[in-house]
A and B are shown apart, each in its own frame.
Chain A
Amino acid sequence: MSNILQLSDKHSLSVERLTMAFPHNDRVLVALQSVTLEVERGELVCIVGASGSGKSTLLNILAGLDEPTAGRAHVHGRVALMFQEEALLPWLTAAGNVELALELRGVKRSERTEAVHELLHRVHLDGFERRLPHELSGGMKQRVALARALAQDADVLLMDEPFGALDAITRDRLHEELERIWSETGLTILFVTHNAREAVRLGDRVLVFTSRPGRVGYEVKVDLARPRSLDSPELAVIAGRITDRLKQEMSGHNNGN
């Protein structure tokens, strides 16, 4: 913490005493309170928390979409953000959505077609280039969104409950693919979810957020070998502990009200 230069070598993302408050019905709603966290380069970190724990707010600040009330958020390099659902531009085809990310990044027209092809291939959507978003299933849409995020050639990929609305089998497949892409590209990923199992399935570390105000409650280092199975007993034990803590914390919160 004391040496910023040293941090910038090793860390891809750092958040320091970050606070975010909104005005809400004449009151002030504190979404994040003094959140401090760091993510190393190439690390896959999951944030798990109940709704209202300010997880999305944190990602929005990191993506540069919102300004924090206080504190600092710093990302080294380019950042991409993948949303929960229905975030494709509906008038563009799968290929068009991916291509727009390339175009806005300044990739030359002659190079874009090939790059789009390659990106859609990477998420196993060969042959779906010309489909419009409403002609794709939920899982395919999220594959396109993932390809589009990859097209931004970011160093840090922020994911805001990207698979939250998908069925279990689809989600399982996408976990595998995300893990594969992550290990191929060396991306740094910060993955937000409300599902403790999903967090333990994917994360090197899991940060558990408390609710209202959101802050990092505690951290779990996941040492299970990859690839992990959602159904493995070891994973279930860790996830169970996290869920218990979340429940405890939520009921405490409710009693407090």
Chain B
Amino acid sequence: MATELAAGLSAREVVETTARWPGRRPLLRVWSLSWPKLAAIALVLAAWQLLVWSEWKPDYVLPGPGPVFRRLAQDLGNANFDLGIAITLRRAVFGYGIAVAIGSVAGILIARITMLRRAIGSAILGLQSMPSIVWFPLAILLFGLNETAIFFVVVLGAAPSIAGGLLSGVDHVQPLLVRVGRVMGARGMSLYRYVILPAALPSFVGGLKQGWAFAWRSLMAGEIIGIVSHQVGIGQQIQVARDFADAEQLVAIIVVIFVIGVVIDSLFGILDREIRRRWGLLGAEA
């Protein structure tokens, strides 16, 4: 109330006083966010090392963290290994990009066209729960042993989540905001552009994140099955490592796949937080 009164009297004063609100010290903030993660990593490494020391399996089958990370450091200096990561990431980005385009367009069409929605709205949900690996045999028959088959499965895995996120975002737009848009004269596409799609964005980002997870899994499954043999991605390298009983290499690649997943997931996390902050969905802590 005091702010409100002041706003009428002198808006500028209020701006000045709130602008200097003391924030938390950045270093302290980084530490408080990162120590639980560091502790978790330390615990996992310790458990892993204990398991190795227990001699449950011989170390040529289950190597310890030490040899694995030494091997990983070597691998990262190896041009072929880095090329494998690059090939895999390129496939991921390309396949996911197609999935985003198709998923978004499909999501908008299904949201806009009632008949389409009645026809395939629930099928989208069904597709989301399909394990994407079941598409691979069909994809190989359709496209042969090549990247197109991989992209086909990646898109089938990711696009339904992306369309679903958009669709549920559109469904849950507050009716009041739609009325506001209409009162201001927005109709049809302009209502979508200015009101409905921005309002659906937080949910859409949720769909993008889930879609990425599915795309990444599909891609790994495809590479491990060994669809494209002439361009060796990290998924195929796992398979090769198994064939040569090279456990250190195998686990090192798993670490790489895990780290890529964590990094990309946290990028989505940042995007998600930023949008929620802007949309005022984070509450007081924002």
Interface residues of A in 107-165 (CB under 8 A from B): 124-128, 132-135, 137-140, 143, 148, 152
A16: min CB distance to chain B, Å: 23
Does any Cβ of A come within 8 Å of B141's Cβ? no
Residues of B within 8 A of A4 (CB): none
In the assembled complex, the Cα of A237 lies from the Cα of B171 at a distance in Å of 48
Instruction: Choose among B12, B176, B184, B278 the residue that contacts A104 (Cβ–Cβ < 8 A).
Output: B184
Q: A89-B180, A104-B190, A127-B15 are in contact. Are A167 and B278 (CB under 8 A)?
A: no
Task: Pick the most buried of B7, B177, B182, B194: most chain A CB atoms within 10 A of its CB.
Answer: B7
B179 CB–A CB distance under 8 Å? yes
Please determine whether A80 and B11 come into contact, CB atoms closer than 8 angstroms.
no
Q: How many residues of A contact B (CB 8 A)?
A: 38
What is the CA–CA distance of A102 and B182 in the complex, to the nearest angstrom? 14
Check if A100 sits within 8 Å of B7, measured CB to CB: no
The residues of B that contact A127 with a CB separation of less than 8 Å are: 11-12, 14-15
Give the shortest distance, in Å, between B170 (CB) and chain A (any CB): 15
Taken together as a complex, chains A and B put the C-alpha atoms of A63 and B185 apart, in Å, by 10
Chain A: which residue is nearest B185 at the CB level? A104
B215 at interface (Cβ–Cβ under 8 A)?
A: no
Residue with the highest number of chain A CB atoms closer than 10 Å, among B4, B5, B190, B199: B4
Contact status A125-B182, CB under 8 Å: no
B201 within 8 A of A: yes
Is A10 engaged at the interface, CB distance under 8 Å to the other chain? no
Q: Tell whether, in the assembled complex, residue A128 and residue B15 are in contact, meaning their CB atoms are under 8 Å apart.
A: yes
State whether A169 touches B183 (Cβ < 8 A). no
Judge whether A133 and B280 touch: CB under 8 Å: yes
Partner among A60, A64, A137 whose Cβ is within 8 Å of the Cβ of B7: A137
B195 CB within 8 Å of chain A? yes
Per-residue CB contact flags for chain A residues 68-109 toward chain B (1 = under 8 Å, else 0) read 000000000000110100110111000000001101110000
B280 pairs with A83, CB closer than 8 A = no
**A5 at the B interface (CB under 8 A):** no
B4 close to A87 (CB less than 8 A): no
A65 at the interface (CB under 8 A from B): yes
| Cβ-defined partner of A87 (8 Å) among B12, B176, B278, B280 | B176
**A51 an interface residue at 8 Å Cβ cutoff?**
no
Q: Contact at A173–B8, with CB atoms within 8 Å? A: yes
With an 8 A cutoff between CB atoms, is B1 at the interface? yes
Of A90, A126, A137, which contacts B3 at CB under 8 A?
Answer: A137
Residue of A nearest to B18 (CB): A135
B194–A125 contact, CB under 8 A? Answer: no
Whole-angstrom distance between the alpha carbons of A65 and B4 in the complex? 32
Q: Convert B145-170 into 0s and 1s, putting 1 for each residue whose CB lies closer than 8 angstroms to a CB of A.
A: 00000000000000000000000000
Measured between alpha carbons, how far is A135 from B194 in the docked complex, in Å?
21
Task: Tell me, in angstroms, the Cα distance from A124 to B15 when the chains sit together.
Answer: 13
Q: Select which of B12, B177, B182 is within 8 A of A89 by beta carbon.
A: B177
Residue from the list B5, B7, B185, B279 in contact with A91, Cβ < 8 A: B279
For residue B121, CB closer than 8 A to chain A, the reply is no
Q: In the complex, A97→B186 CA distance in Å? A: 13
- Chain A, residues 33-64, CB within 8 Å of chain B (1/0): the string is 00000000000000000000000000010011
Across the two chains, which residue of chain A brings its CB closest to B186? A104
Q: Is the CB–CB distance between B7 and A65 below 8 Å?
A: no
Contacts of A137 in B (CB 8 A): 1, 3-4, 7
Question: Which residues on the A side are within 8 Å of B97 (C-beta)?
Answer: none
Chain B residues with Cβ below 8 Å from A90 are 279-281
Judge if B84 is at the interface, Cβ distance under 8 Å: no
Known interface pairs A60-B179, A124-B7, A126-B12; 9 further A-B residue pairs with C-beta atoms within 8 A, sorted by A's residue number: A80-B183, A87-B180, A89-B180, A89-B194, A127-B15, A132-B278, A137-B1, A167-B4, A170-B1
Show the binding face of B for A, using Cβ within 8 Å.
1, 3-5, 7-8, 11-12, 14-15, 176-177, 179-180, 182-186, 190, 194-195, 198-199, 201, 278-281, 286
Across the A-B interface, the 3 shortest Cβ-Cβ residue pairs: A134-B280, A139-B4, A127-B11
A-B contacts, 27 listed (Cβ < 8 Å): A80-B183, A87-B180, A89-B177, A89-B180, A90-B279, A90-B280, A91-B278, A103-B194, A105-B184, A124-B7, A124-B11, A126-B11, A126-B12, A127-B11, A127-B12, A128-B11, A132-B280, A133-B280, A134-B280, A135-B280, A137-B1, A137-B3, A138-B4, A139-B7, A140-B4, A167-B4, A169-B5
